[in-house]
Amino acid sequence: MPLRATVSRSQFRADCVTRRIIFHNASQVVTCTGPARGRRGAEMADASTRRNVAIAVDGARIASVGAPDDIERAYPGAERVDCAGRVVTPGLVDSHTHAIFGRPRYDEQELRAAGAGYMEIAEQGGGIHSSVRDLRARSEDDLLALARTRLPRLARYGATTIEIKSGYGLSVDDELKSLRVIARLQAETPLRLVPTWLGGHEIPREFRERANGRQKYIDQLIHEQLPRVVTERLATFADVFCEPGVFTLKETRTILAAARSKGLMLKLHADELEPCGGAELAAELGAISADHLAAISPAGIGALAQSGTVATLLPGTMLFLGRTRQAPARELISAGAVVALATDFNPGTSPTPNLPLIMTLGVSQLHMSVAEVVLATTVNAAAALGLAESTGQIAPGFSADLALWDCEDVREIPYWYGDARCAASWCRGESVYLA
CB 266 within 8 A of CB 200: no
To the nearest whole percent, how much of the chain has pLDDT over 90? 89
401-421 pLDDT, tens digit per residue, is: 999 999 999 999 999 999 999
The model's confidence at residue 123, banded by pLDDT at 50, 70 and 90, is confident
119 alpha carbon, distance to own chain's centre: 25
16-63 pLDDT, tens digit per residue, is: 446 899 999 999 999 999 999 999 999 999 999 999 999 999 999 999
Cα–Cα distance for residue pair 373/89, rounded to 1 Å: 12
pLDDT greater than 70 at residue 6: no
Average pLDDT score over the chain: 94
210-219 pLDDT, tens digit per residue, is: 899 999 999 9
Cβ density class 163-172: b for 16+ within 10 Å, e for less: bbbbbbbbbb
Total residue count of the chain as it appears in this document: 435
222-232 pLDDT, tens digit per residue, is: 999 999 999 99
348 alpha carbon, distance to own chain's centre: 17
Cα–Cα distance for residue pair 135/133, rounded to 1 Å: 6
pLDDT on residue 7: 33
Sheet of strand 237-242, all strands in order from the earlier edge strand to the far edge: 92-94, 159-165, 192-200, 237-242, 265-270, 289-292, 310-313, 339-341
To the nearest whole percent, how much of the chain has pLDDT over 70? 96
Averaged pLDDT, 114-137 = 87
Class of 9-91+392-434 in CATH = mainly beta
93-383 matches 9-91+392-434 in CATH topology: no
Q: In sequence order, what DSSP letters do the residues of 138-151 get, joined into one string?
A: S-HHHHHHHHHHHH
63-73 pLDDT, tens digit per residue, is: 999 999 999 99
- Looking at domain 93-383, its CATH architecture is Alpha-Beta Barrel (3.20)
pLDDT on residue 122: 77
pLDDT on residue 121: 82
Cβ density class 336-351: b for 16+ within 10 Å, e for less: ebbbbbbbbbbbbbbb
pLDDT on residue 345: 98
pLDDT on residue 116: 84
The residues facing 413 across adjacent strands are none
314 closest CA partner among 275, 351, 276, 282: 351
pLDDT greater than 50 at residue 246: yes
Query: What's this model's pTM, rounded to 2 decimal places?
Result: 0.94
Alpha helices in 245-294 (DSSP H): 249-261, 278-285
pLDDT greater than 60 at residue 274: yes
HSE-up of residue 214 (Cα within 13 Å, Cβ side): 8
Helix axes 172-188, 128-136, angle to 10 degrees: 80
Cα dist. 410→53, 320, 371 in Å?
A: 15, 26, 9
CB 83 within 8 A of CB 330: no
**What ranges do the domains of the chain cover?**
9-91+392-434, 93-383
Q: In sequence order, what DSSP letters do the residues of 400-427 get, joined into one string?
A: --EEEESSSSTTHHHHSTT---EEEEEE
Q: Give the angle 172-173-174 at the CA atoms, nearest 5°.
A: 95
The model's confidence at residue 15, banded by pLDDT at 50, 70 and 90, is very low
φ, ψ of residue 384 to 5 degrees: the values are -70, -10
Cα–Cα distance for residue pair 266/288, rounded to 1 Å: 6
φ, ψ of residue 4 to 5 degrees: the values are -85, 80
pLDDT on residue 289: 98
φ, ψ of residue 370 to 5 degrees: the values are -65, -45
354-391 pLDDT, tens digit per residue, is: 999 999 999 999 999 999 999 999 999 999 999 999 99
CB 30 within 8 A of CB 90: yes
Strand residues in 321-364 grouped as ranges (E): 339-341
pLDDT greater than 60 at residue 3: no
Cα–Cα distance for residue pair 279/295, rounded to 1 Å: 10
CB 304 within 8 A of CB 312: no
Averaged pLDDT, 2-8 = 35
Sheet of strand 28-30, all strands in order from the earlier edge strand to the far edge: 49-50, 28-30, 87-90, 402-405, 422-427, 430-434
pLDDT on residue 186: 97
